[in-house]
């Protein structure tokens, strides 16, 4: 038992330091871009990026929490599927479908009691995301269709279907966006808007944290979570052990889709000028979720902190415009930092092997 505990501790430590290394490499690469663009303000701009939301005090931190909320949910969506051996690249479509249903209920279902209107809207977002994730899950389980291809196709089906439904049901043609949601559908702010000085701040971040804890418990403390991970690690062995792999594949994608759908609902029910627009562009929150999941090593707790960090960096990135850096440069810097998270797994394996080798050498000396 003690050896197993030490092994888990080593894996956790290596995961942490590998993520730190990935972030450091990304920041250094960003510094090179800043130096090439305008060397005079490169170091002050880099410091501003690192300071992130702290630059603007409580207002900046409020923006960080607001931006991090949907990224945490989409990161959980991608990470949960990955833990079960599946690649959910369809978080963007699941996010969009969940957002549409939440907004639709928020606009049309005004007959609901105000106290539960926003709750029903969020439940609708969860259901829509789950259904959208279920399709590639069924195709994978029953027809062995690669879930990456199926989920990518569902992204495009989702965006065009949602655009069509928006125009037919809840469209404001003058602004090319959805109509405003009812006040009763706005997620309660819980005094956080006054605390942080940000109008769009609400209890969504607390909902995201609760979901993180629930997913962590499911994956690490339940038989169901053990079966899901067993199917991901070794489908043949789990099937031999009597685990229903097809059922678990479908359930995994359903849960992943539900998480992404909830993220869409939390973002668009903020009630502070956030509207769905009719654009032929995939929701970036879904792809941010992939980066968050990579940087967080698909661990729910790691995903929570990775989402907060990436939001922190984004807020800091907006502030370097004060040093006359163009928006495109800011996007490149942020993208490089996030992209380096893809190498975190390589760093993790390297650190883990080194620490394990050192321990073995010490044991041999004894």
Is 0.75 topped by the overall pTM?
yes
**pLDDT value for 3:** 46
* CA proximity to 261, closest of 88, 85, 65, 63: 88
Return d(Cα 330, Cα 316) in angstroms, integer: 9
- Which residues have C-beta within 8 Å of that of residue 336, sequence separation ≥ 6? 26, 29, 30, 33
Dihedral, CA of residue 204, residue 206, residue 212 and residue 217, to nearest 10? -140
Q: What is the CATH number of domain 58-324?
A: 1.10.3470
Task: Return averaged pLDDT per consecutive 10 residues of the chain, 366 residues in all.
Answer: 47 66 82 87 88 84 92 95 90 96 96 95 97 95 91 94 96 92 92 84 94 95 86 69 83 96 94 84 87 86 92 85 77 71 62 65 63
Q: Which long-range contacts (CB under 8 A, 24 or more apart) does 136-142 make?
A: 136/88, 136/90, 136/253, 137/86, 137/249, 137/250, 137/251, 137/252, 137/253, 137/254, 138/250, 140/86, 140/249, 140/253, 141/245, 141/246, 141/247, 141/249, 141/250, 142/246
**pLDDT value for 362:** 64
**pLDDT value for 328:** 72
pLDDT tens by residue, 328-355: 777 777 677 667 766 656 666 666 566 6
Return d(Cα 366, Cα 362) in angstroms, integer: 6
**pLDDT value for 327:** 64
* CA proximity to 45, closest of 59, 31, 29: 31
Relative orientation angle of helices 344-365 and 284-295, to the nearest 10 degrees: 10
Return d(Cα 112, Cα 185) in angstroms, integer: 9
pLDDT tens by residue, 7-33: 444 555 666 676 777 788 888 888 898
Kindly write down the DSSP assignment for every residue of 68-105, as one continuous string. Answer: HHHHHHHHHHHHHHHHTT---TTHHHHHHHHHHHHHHH
Q: How many C-beta atoms surround the C-beta of residue 362 within 10 A?
A: 9
**pLDDT value for 69:** 94
- Which residues have C-beta within 8 Å of that of residue 185, sequence separation ≥ 6? 105, 106, 107, 109, 117, 118, 121, 269, 271
* SS3 state of residue 326: coil
C-beta separation of 188 from 272 below 8 A? no
């Amino acid at each position: 038992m003690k050896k197993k505990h030490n092994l888990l501790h080593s894996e956790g430590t290596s995961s942490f330091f590998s993520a730190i290394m990935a972030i450091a490499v990304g920041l250094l690469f960003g510094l090179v871009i800043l130096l090439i663009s305008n060397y005079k303000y490169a170091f002050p701009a880099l410091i501003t990026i690192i300071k992130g939301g702290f630059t603007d005090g409580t207002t900046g931190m409020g923006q960080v929490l607001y931006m991090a909320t949907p990224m945490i949910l989409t990161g959980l969506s991608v990470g949960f599927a990955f833990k079960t051996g599946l690649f959910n690249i369809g978080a963007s479509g699941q996010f969009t479908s969940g957002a549409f249903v939440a907004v639709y209920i928020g606009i049309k279902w005004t007959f609901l009691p105000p106290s539960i209107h926003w709750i029903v809207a969020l439940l609708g977002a969860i259901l829509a995301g789950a259904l959208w994730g279920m399709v590639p899950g069924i195709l994978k389980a029953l027809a062995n269709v690669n879930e990456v291809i199926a989920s990518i196709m569902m992204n495009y089906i989702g965006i065009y279907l949602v655009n069509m439904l928006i125009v037919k049901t809840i469209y404001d043609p003058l602004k090319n966006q959805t109509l405003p949601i009812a006040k009763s559908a706005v997620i309660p702010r819980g005094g956080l808007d006054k605390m942080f000085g940000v109008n769009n701040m609400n209890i969504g971040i607390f909902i995201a944290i609760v979901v993180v804890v629930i997913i962590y418990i499911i994956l690490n403390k339940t038989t169901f979570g053990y079966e899901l991970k067993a199917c991901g690690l070794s489908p043949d062995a789990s099937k031999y052990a009597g685990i229903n792999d097809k059922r678990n594949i479908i359930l995994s994608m359903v849960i992943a889709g539900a998480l992404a759908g909830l993220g869409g609902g939390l973002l668009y029910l903020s009630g502070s000028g956030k509207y769905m627009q009719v654009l032929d562009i995939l929701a970036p929150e879904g792809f941010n979720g992939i980066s968050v999941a990579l940087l967080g090593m698909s661990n729910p707790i790691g995903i929570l902190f990775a989402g907060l960090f990436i939001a922190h960096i984004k807020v800091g990135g907006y502030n370097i415009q004060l040093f006359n850096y163009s928006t495109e440069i800011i996007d490149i810097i942020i993208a490089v930092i996030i992209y380096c998270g893809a190498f975190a797994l390589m760093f993790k394996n390297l650190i883990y092997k080194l620490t394990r080798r050192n321990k073995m050498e010490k044991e041999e000396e004894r």
